[in-house]
Amino acid sequence: MTDAPDRPIRLGTRRSPLAMAQAEEARECLCRVHGWPLEAVEIVPVTASGDKIQDRPLAEIGGKALWTKELDQWLMAGEIDFAVHSAKDVETWRPLELTIAAVLEREDVRDVLVGVASLSALAPGARIGTSAPRRAAQVLHLRPDCEVVSFRGNVATRLGKLAAGEADATLLALAGLNRLGQGHVGTPLSLEGWLPAPGQGAIAIECRADDAATAALLSAIDHAASHAALMAERDLLAALGGNCHSAIGVHTRADGADLLQRAAIYTLDGAEKVERDARFAAGDRHGPKRLAADLLAGASPALSACFDPP
């Protein structure tokens, strides 16, 4: 038990249905572990730029920062005390003033195929709706006969577009569907043949780097294994020099004190794929760097041009 704060702690979040569900999950976890009433944490929603602009791929208009910049501004200005993010939407390089203080236990990391039972069941020339370079590249690598059409929006919007016939199938994160109570939708894709996005399924909680009191409160809900896996995936991204135009899939899982990381990089048209795996101790920041170097060493000039390693 921890004494309830004198005033509600302010939790910042995007206003989308999934983001609000994640904020509620974080609030419930924090209040439960400290023995607080839910009123001890106030959810403060913001409409992110990424939610306002729905007609263009994020890579064309500013990338993942469009999901975080308003919350970053509020956090650094002291208008909120911490912020909750879908970890896969958090850009690789973050402001030094902020830190990931906690990661909740990771949800199912798999993607779900919606609209058809399997990729092999797609008709020749089928249209797949996605705006994610990773998903597009993986589809085209496995089914080069298919066409990728741009899909933006939250889960309901994309399912609505699919129902309206704008595509024959689409791909969604199972973690998001589970958190929205829609885990029955679609068919999960096996991790053996389809890698998720870096950070997929993880909820990252940030606070100001100089706010030791809030960081200490958040540490009580940090899931160490999920945190270690997320940081290893973010270290891989940084070492690859990946960006919103890069097609990268990665899955990291704990094996005793070690992490097993499998990753693949693709050209955007899916024509080339390089896949490697590595084992390293949890917290070893050099393990993902070695894996990134291995991936790039096996890439052609065309694939290497999609990355900008430091």
Q: Which residues are catalytic?
A: 89
Helices 212-219 and 17-34 cross at an angle (nearest 10°) of 90
| Interatomic CA distance for residues 178 and 190, integer angstroms | 17
Q: Which of 62, 63, 4 is nearest to 30 (CA)?
A: 4
Place of tokens 């390693």: 309
Q: What is the DSSP string of 231-289?
A: HHHHHHHHHHT--TT-EEEEEEEEETTEEEEEEEEE-TTSS-EEEEEEEEETT-THHHH
| Interatomic CA distance for residues 169 and 172, integer angstroms | 10
Task: Give all strands of the β-sheet with 169-173 in edge-to-edge order.
Answer: 147-149, 127-129, 169-173, 111-114, 187-188
Helices 286-297 and 224-240 cross at an angle (nearest 10°) of 40
| Interatomic CA distance for residues 246 and 197, integer angstroms | 11
106 touches 34 (CB < 8 A): no
**Cβ atoms within 10 A of the Cβ of 227, count?**
22
Helices marked H in the chain — which ranges? 17-34, 49-52, 58-61, 65-76, 133-142, 155-163, 174-179, 212-219, 224-240, 286-297, 301-304
